[in-house]
Amino acid sequence: MNPFDLVQIAAMILALAVAIIGHEIMHGLVAYKYGDPTAKLAGRLSINPIVHVDIVGTIIVPALLYFSHAPFLFGWAKPVPVNMQVVINRGGYMAAVWVSLAGIAYNFALALLASFIIGFFPEARSLTGAFFEFFLYFTVVYNIVLAVFNLMPIPPLDGANAVMYLAMKMRLFGFADFMSKIFPYGMIFLIIVLATPLSDVVFYPAFYLIKILL
């Protein structure tokens, strides 16, 4: 393995960590803005990556994807604890929607920022330059994939939470109740989507956006 390969791997790991850890921290930060101190009291608003590591989502899944030569890495950090009842009591149902979408907004914003910087980045002529070039590239890819994936209205993804609280805001309590009842089966739905050709449809917007941004 040559030095550039090692630099690429390091950039991939850092870009994925920034994407998934920042995603979770944003949920806690927005919840804190609406008066919920749960994440702060648990020490989960820290940028220390150790407190956010999920053995399966942060280590095992990305490693398996890398060694199986998947087209991109994917993973997740340990979910930041949020007391949505406190958020709703302080800010209403729309506050719960914003908390649910905070991580997605972070991912889209970070992807756009990285894409903007890439446009001004000179061609890499050193290992350091190559590292930053790889980092910016993978920051766009991972954040777009993570944002689009989480937008799916399938429990327990952020999109499903946002839809459920938006339904409550619109007083569609029957639909919100239906959403809450299918949450225990969400992983089954996700597996069906990801393990079938449906995944091509789901991730098409992500690949389209990545093509535009890069």
Domain limits, the chain: 3-213
pLDDT digits (tens, 9 = 90+) for 78-100: 999 999 999 999 999 999 999 99
45: left (phi over 0), alpha (psi -120 to 50) or beta: alpha
Separation CA 147–CA 132 (nearest Å)? 22
pLDDT of residue 42: 92
Confidence band of 73 (pLDDT split at 50, 70, 90): confident
DSSP conformation letters of 120-131? TPPPP-SHHHHH
Instruction: Give me 186's structure tokens.
Output: 């969400």
Cα 53–chain centre separation: 14
Percentage of residues in the chain having pLDDT higher than 70: 99
pLDDT of residue 187 exceeding 90, the answer is no
- In the prediction, which pLDDT does 186 show? 84
Q: Give the helix ranges, DSSP H, for 92-184.
A: 93-118, 127-151, 158-169, 173-182
Give tens-digit pLDDT for 90-143.
Answer: 999 999 999 999 999 999 999 999 999 998 877 767 888 889 999 999 999 999
CA proximity to 141, closest of 107, 116, 105, 103: 107
Give CA–CA dist 18/25, Å, rounded.
10
For the entire predicted model, the pTM comes to 0.91
Distance CA 143, CA 194 (A): 18
pLDDT on residue 207: 92
